[in-house]
């Protein structure tokens, strides 16, 4: 079990919050994926920036549910590993089977905000590197 940090104030400047139950990092993931599907339709975008082991578990869950995965290459760790693997067609993970059918969209940091927005919307980025 993780150390409890006690209560924390909510950040100012936000008009809405999503609070979930759980005691460990990642406990919120099933709820957040269900919420994304509810708000974003059957194929909501999921953005991977940096990340580690928990993020990769979330990638597997998102891909299994048919979410549109967008990977920000150049942001570090899991995102860079998955971006490199996606470019050669393998991830070394369970998601390999779906790689050709549900390939992630890889956006490089240098592609700019417009390319990222287009990718999250599910349209073909104009400045995407392959």
Each domain of the chain, given as residue ranges in start order, spans 42-121
Q: What is the pLDDT of residues 16-48, one digit of tens each?
A: 888 888 888 788 888 888 888 888 777 888 899
Q: Which two tokens stand for residue 37?
A: 């599907």
CA–CA separation, 52 vs 65, rounded Å? 20
**Beta-bridge mates of residue 69:** 46
Q: What is the pLDDT of residues 47-65, one digit of tens each?
A: 999 999 888 988 888 888 8
């Amino acid at each position: 079990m993780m150390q409890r940090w006690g209560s924390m104030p909510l950040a100012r400047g936000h008009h809405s919050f999503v609070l979930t139950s759980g005691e460990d990092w990642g406990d919120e993931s099933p709820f957040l994926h269900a919420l994304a599907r509810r708000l974003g339709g059957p194929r909501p975008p999921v953005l991977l920036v940096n990340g580690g082991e928990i993020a990769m578990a979330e990638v597997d869950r998102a891909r299994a549910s048919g979410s549109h995965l967008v990977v920000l290459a150049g942001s570090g760790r899991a995102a860079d590993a998955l971006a490199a693997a996606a470019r050669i067609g393998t991830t070394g993970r369970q998601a390999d089977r779906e790689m050709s059918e549900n390939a992630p969209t890889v956006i490089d940091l240098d592609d700019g905000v417009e390319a990222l927005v287009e990718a999250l919307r599910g349209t073909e980025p104009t400045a995407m590197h392959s």
